[in-house]
Amino acid sequence: MTDETQNNAETPAAETAEEALYSAETLEAARVLFARPATFMMGAAKIEQLPAADLPEVTFAGRSNVGKSSLINALVGQNHLARASNEPGRTREVNFFVLDEKLRLVDLPGYGWAKASKAEVKKFQNLGRDYLRGRPNLKRAYLLIDARHGLKAVDNEPMDALDVAAVSYQIVLTKADKIKPHELKAVIEKTQAQIKKRPAAHPVVLATSSEKGHGIPELRAEIMTTCAVGP
């Protein structure tokens, strides 16, 4: 298929996060689901330590400081569930949070670590990759990208890994409150165009602000639907 035919095709990529993707009922069900108790289950530093694959999981990946902890906290409406990025121990493990024994939110180690040694970086890259490859209950990965910056070269590696592992993933822009609405619209459109040919990428890019709550109800609905669970 040529670029031209792809660009002209009517695909869901033409949608933007501003359009209503979910019904009021779905958004309300997701709100109720995510108001249920969420707890830290465990951190795994090695692949052998992963918990049994007995609940649907979604995972969150992104560069350190992208707003991953803030997003997980905003989803569950708790300020301190996922810790901030500057706590070294926890950020080098795959951390599992359970939402009311229905699904798990999985925090993957951040990438783009400036301070970590090469050996350390390799270690948690491998752990992340092993998790992505071998997890039958993993329903989707959410790749977090700072709305101010859009996709950068450093983001190609996780996208390549997800495409190779054939793990469905969706891009979630973070810190949407930091840019103007027309800039946000432009970055959504640009990102959607950039991922068009990536086989495992969901065509719709979501925009969120953990600070202001923008896009959080929609992301909850997306996760609920993806995991096929109800409140």
What are the residues binding ligand GDP (CB under 6 A)?
Answer: 62, 64-70, 84-85, 110, 174-175, 177-178, 209-211
Cβ-based nearer residue to ligand GDP, 94 or 229: 94
Helix axes 156-165, 118-133, angle to 10 degrees: 30
Q: How far apart are CA 104 and CA 55, in angstroms?
A: 7
Q: How far is CA 59 from the centre of its chain?
A: 6
Residue 111 to residues 154, 157, 158, Cα–Cα distance (Å):
8, 10, 9
Nearest distance, CB of residue 197 and ligand GDP, angstroms? 27
Cβ-based nearer residue to ligand GDP, 59 or 70: 70
Cβ-based nearer residue to ligand GDP, 6 or 86: 86
Nearest distance, CB of residue 231 and ligand GDP, angstroms? 25
Nearest distance, CB of residue 7 and ligand GDP, angstroms? 31
Nearest distance, CB of residue 214 and ligand GDP, angstroms? 8
Q: Give the residue closest to ligand GDP by C-beta.
A: 85
Q: Ramachandran region of residue 166, left (φ > 0), alpha (ψ -120 to 50) or beta?
A: left
Return the half-sphere exposure (C-beta side, CA atoms, 13 A cut-off) of residue 229: 22
The answer to whether 144 touches 60, Cβ cutoff 8 Å, is yes
Cβ-based nearer residue to ligand GDP, 219 or 221: 219
- Among 231, 218, 227, 228, CA closest to 59: 227
**What φ, ψ does residue 99 adopt, rounded to 5°?**
-105, 100
Nearest distance, CB of residue 77 and ligand GDP, angstroms? 14
Cβ-based nearer residue to ligand GDP, 192 or 208: 208
